[in-house]
Amino acid sequence: MNVRGPVLAVVAALLTATAAGPALAAPISGAVDIRCAADTLHQDADWYLPQGKPTALVWVQHGFARSNAQVAALAQSFADAGYLVFAPSLPFFQLSGCTLQNLGDNSGFLYNVAELFGTATDPGAALGTSLAAAARRAGLPVPELPSDLVFVGHSAGAEAVTFVADRIRSHHLPTWPGLRGVLLLDPVQSFVGDNIARALSGLDGTGLPILTISAPPALCNSFARGTTAVQTQLHRPFVGVRLRTGVHTDAEGASTDPLGTVFCGVPAPENSAALRALALGWTDDFLTGATGATVTRAQAVLTAGLAADLLPGS
């Protein structure tokens, strides 16, 4: 039986139900300053501005050896649903240790990334300065940064957003109540260290919603060690779904490139559409507090015929 039609119909309905109107046609290119030891990195960063007042600020973080260009389709989906989206490009190899993934000890750099959100409401702080500069360069009004935050990370970016979330919990207490949830898209644990496991352990008892959408074990997701960490460290009955026919590039979808498809697989349209529908629906649940809907949304794509499994915690 060909299930693609029913699956795409269901996920299209979910996307339509979540969308809050059209966003601007393209991201606004800019940059953001992030402290790196005694230096400051001037990193590329895209901003996606929705029509009207943003519902929340969504940080969308790419993975290892990737850039914000590879998460553009995902970021645009969030903007189309009414969110202000911040999508920076973070370095994945630097001798200084200021890297997205732990190749030695990148804790200090990720502490500085957390500072972006911890100081977002401060006049002249890096995140607001980045947004204002990008909007003015595009000739657009500068939107106010929402106090509600959702972090979305793909691959190594999933480890980074988890680590930053835990840092906000421990060191940026005024920001912590505004962090409404974390989405991990085929999370990858660093080859060195245990950043994701430690961060998940710190977040477990807080009640912060953390959900994953994963692919089967493969080389590009480090044989699902990141998903295993989620299931092991979170003591919750439900932590997400695994797409049985998924590949590591599902989160990138139409924004992936030859490097991604050659090494990590070609994303199937139904898997990418389901991932976006779940990500948008779960984000809405984070903000409304409708936690009972999280499993229901996952079951909807299964009922439509998508090959997937619900993931339990420990």
Q: CA of 62: how far to CAs of 43, 46, 68, in Å?
A: 13, 12, 6
Judge whether 257 and 73 are in contact, CB under 8 Å.
no
pLDDT given at position 9: 53
pLDDT given at position 157: 96
Q: Is the pLDDT of residue 301 over 80?
A: no
Give the pLDDT confidence of 148-166 residue by residue, as tens digits. 999 999 999 999 999 999 9
Give the pLDDT confidence of 58-74 residue by residue, as tens digits. 999 999 989 999 999 99
Residue 214 identity (one-letter amino acid): S
Q: Is the pLDDT of residue 234 over 90?
A: yes
Domains of the chain by residue range: 4-311
3-state secondary structure (DSSP) of residue 46 = strand
pLDDT given at position 95: 65
Predicted confidence band at 101 (pLDDT cuts at 50, 70, 90)?
confident
Once rounded to an integer, what is the mean pLDDT over residues 206-210? 96
Q: Is the pLDDT of residue 250 over 90?
A: yes
Give the pLDDT confidence of 178-201 residue by residue, as tens digits. 999 999 999 999 877 889 999 999
pLDDT given at position 2: 45
pLDDT given at position 197: 94
Mean residue pLDDT of the chain comes to 89
Domain 4-311 top-level CATH class: alpha beta
- Which residues make beta-bridge pairs with 168? none
- Which residues make beta-bridge pairs with 45? 30, 88
